[in-house]
Amino acid sequence: MPSYPITYIPAFLLSLTSLFVLTGCNQAGRDGVSKDQSKPYIAAEIPLFNADSAYDYVAAQVNFGPRVNNSKAHEACVAYLTEKLKEFSTDVIVQSGTVSAFDGTPLAFQNIIATFGPEGNNRILLGAHWDSRPFADQDPDEGNFYKAIDGANDGASGVGVLLEIARQLSKKPPPVGVDIILFDAEDYGPPEALQDNRNSGEFWGLGSQYWAKNPHHPDYYAKYGILLDMVGASGATFPMEGFSMEYAPHVVKKVWNIGNLLGYSSYFLFQRGGYITDDHYYVIRDRGIPMIDIIHLDQNSENGMYRHWHTLEDNLDKIDPGTLQVVGQTLLTVIYSER
């Protein structure tokens, strides 16, 4: 059962009739990160995110089984995601290719890109990875280390939120151009037992590395990007990820300020988190787009990650529609408050 009311929207937000600017007393979080320096604008008419719809999109992905590259489940899921996005956008591109895994295995991959408002030069990029990890190398049972995971939270949750956002964008055109990219081959890094300084880094985020060097439009640029990774579990906490704060602190503060304004302060924490080599890192490094990562990090866990990260327990039972609601409504507010 969801731990957060999935229909909750602050009453004052529903009553807004004009654009306003948030001001405040410039308070700081526990580590001194300012909460409101970016003074975000909030638009009056913002679509309501449907958490039930997003949950159904998560479930549909998980029902294919682990979405590991070169598998039947992977093939079936890419077809589903492509057709679903085509319901919401007339401009959908599937970027296909082959990349090499850490052990030399050729991986067929498909990045799926949906565009909204293609004529606009003022654009933002939203991303998530849709593949799932072939190794449950953080599982409590060592016998499961080389089994594939469902990736309900690690992969499917971010995609589910973006599919529901795409549905909303199709109903009410946003004030800026929006590109949604579902990255592939993010989670095929080497199992922990084989990770070392030689091979642990560049074999993650293979789909985003490819796209960043070969974008769907040669001159593609967005003023900023937002990546979603592990955004569906109960009690999720999103501290300010390290690379996000290093390269796009203004975007982090914009999103976190809006999330807090909407009443989601227990999720969007004004605390600095660790540096995560995720898809956003390669978009920053290889494409020059300031991109942030909304990712569930847990300072109380042994590895600092979501408790069921890279285990067989990352299944649909762990998905909370309330958390999907928090992330989805925050993103919709960010998008429709752009100018």
Read off the pLDDT of residues 10-51 as tens digits, 9 standing for 90 and up: 433 433 322 333 323 334 444 556 665 556 778 779 999 999
In a domain, 174, yes or no: yes
CA-closest candidate to residue 39, choices 269, 264, 258: 258
pLDDT at residue 333, rounded to an integer: 98
Could you tell me if 135 and 145 are in contact, meaning their C-beta atoms sit under 8 angstroms apart?
yes
H or E element at residue 94: strand 92-100
pLDDT at residue 16, rounded to an integer: 35
Could you tell me if 289 and 224 are in contact, meaning their C-beta atoms sit under 8 angstroms apart?
yes
In a domain, 166, yes or no: yes
Query: What mean pLDDT is predicted for residues 208-218?
Result: 97
CATH number at residue 153: 3.40.630.10
Q: Which amino acid is at 292?
A: I
In a domain, 6, yes or no: no
- Count Cβ atoms below 10 Å from residue 117 Cβ, excluding itself: 18
Query: What mean pLDDT is predicted for residues 88-99?
Result: 98
Return the sign of the alpha-carbon dihedral for residues 178, 83, 129, 70. Answer: negative
> Count of domains in the chain?
1
pLDDT at residue 104, rounded to an integer: 94
In a domain, 105, yes or no: yes
What range defines the domain where residue 39 resides?
11-336
**DSSP per residue, 110-145:** EEEEEEESTT-SSEEEEEEE----S--TT-SSGGGT
In a domain, 80, yes or no: yes
Decide if pLDDT at 61 tops 70.
Answer: yes
Q: What gap in Å lies between CA 265 and CA 268, rounded to an integer?
A: 5
Query: What mean pLDDT is predicted for residues 291-302?
Result: 91
pLDDT at residue 231, rounded to an integer: 98
CB proximity list for 47: less than 8 A, separation 6 or greater: 168, 171, 172, 332, 336
CA-closest candidate to residue 247, choices 187, 297, 287: 287
In a domain, 5, yes or no: no
pLDDT at residue 147, rounded to an integer: 98
- Count Cβ atoms below 10 Å from residue 79 Cβ, excluding itself: 13
Q: What gap in Å lies between CA 44 and CA 17, rounded to an integer?
A: 5
Percent of the chain with pLDDT over 70: 87
In a domain, 2, yes or no: no
Query: What mean pLDDT is predicted for residues 67-77?
Result: 98
